[in-house]
Structure 1
Amino acid sequence: MSIIQVTNLHKSYETLKAVNGISFSIEKGEMFGLVGPDGAGKTTTIRILCGLIKQDEGVVLLMGKDILKEKKEIQNNIGYLSQKFSLYGDLTVDENIEFFAEIHDVKDYNQRRDELLEFTRLKPFRKRLADQLSGGMKQKLALACSLIHKPQILFLDEPTTGVDPVSRRDFWKILSQLLKEGITILMTTPYLDEAERCNRIALMNKGNIIALDSPIKLKEKINKQVIEIVCNPIRNAYKLLKEKFSLEVQLFGDRINIISDKSFDYEKIIDFLTQNGIEIIDKRITTPSLENIFMHLIK
């Protein structure tokens, strides 16, 4: 049986439909990602699963138990790391972990605390006030606090937003180790490069799940190629391509992605741009990224 089972989940805030009848299941030991832009319904979903808010309709089962009927028992077996740093800035690293251990009624927590400090590389900073930690260190402390009671499921709501690249890498190393220990992880992220690391992902938009599968299978399903072009002036090129070709053209910073069938001759595009005074700096054929797929599915 799945460790998380969500069926026909609905949640509205007045006229806003935040979650619109979504269903999914997660197996034990899996890393599952809810992926999408702000306002997609990711945070609302994760807060319902943690028992922090009630759904309007639908059934949520965690470890075979109904979140509406056995919330307290479920919450004793889950960890939750919210979007915003929610620990106590006037307490030290040690004191924050002790506080959360006592909340979860963990009696002999000293060894577990030391293991988590070693695990998150926070041991040298254990006497430092939480307010004096960097953004990445605060997130690692929040993670340590959410793990003090050895949860079966860990919920992470955009855990690396606003965190520097080095801390993001360290954070992902920690999550990899947790997966080896058999913890199930459900995370939300707006970063599609992070979603690539999940076993499976659900792409969300406006309260709906628009695709659900492993990142590799999602890429296979689209059965397209991406013609990637770096050129100058790029905005002129983008406008010309949109007007000339009945292809999906996506603009990403300094490059243009054109989604086409694999049989399409991309030299037609290169010739067209060159004839119109566009300087081609670089070009290549590549497989679609999750970002390409997400934009393609929305369109």
Structure 2
Amino acid sequence: MTITLNNGVEMPALGFGVFQTPPEQTVDAVVEALRVGYRLIDTAASYFNEREVGEGIRRSGLDRDEVFIETKVWLSDYGYEETLHAVDKSAGKLGVDTIDLLLLHQAVPTDFDRTVQAYTDLQMLLAEGRVRAIGVSNFMAEHLSALREQTEVVPAVNQIEVHPYFSQPTVQEANRAQGTVTQAWSPMGGITSYRGTGTSTFEDPTLGEIAAAHGKTPAQVMLRWHLQQGRAAIPKSVNPERIAANIDVFGFELTVEELARIDALDTGVRGGPEPADVTREAFWRDIPEA
């Protein structure tokens, strides 16, 4: 299943993420994901495992054009020409000449001029053919509007936190209005477990009931919810059984009523960082050259 981006590029709707996957586990996880059928791998400079993602893709035996590679520039590397260098770093670690989808990892509201400068560099890379599509991550509706006023290329993707407990309908609508695909990180609400919120989507009774009705797991139901509502999603795991289960979501369909019941679980409580609080000082990370 693919989604056509606003520039005509075809992107797999379901990808494999490696956020918080230790480098020493990343190669095997990527190899396994590609073996069972994933064709999109999502990483980021700030995950510090781009090199291992590239190695996993090479070890898979697949041709380069069979795998859609997505990565992100961290805010420490925003700015005219600084972002160009950041992409050189990422491409070198991945071992590729062309990146399929390149995102800005965060908006920086307190230094939005630098965010615009970084996106201008992405536009240049797109024009040169060094990337096939560009976009953003964790941009709220007001950030999308401000970016649109100062740049030329509408983001193809906005990767944001979306799961049944936090669905961000306002941002999703802003994405739709300008032809930007919503791609869900933490698509099954895993962040509700490891951030210690006291609740977990995996134990939610509504999701459990719907899953039992289809002979599926709550995780599979959540991924199916994303796909049927037109979103892309990037689940993550290092467990081979879960990696395989997370892509086994194409043989059943949720009803309109079931989709609505899942929508109704939204608590409005964000698990990740509050976008308005993101600053270069507080979120600075040194991205190594190699």
TM-score range with shorter-chain normalisation?
0.3 to 0.5
Structure number having the greater helix percentage: 2
Give TM-score scaled by structure 2 length. 0.34
Give TM-score scaled by structure 1 length. 0.34
Q: Which has the larger radius of gyration?
A: 1
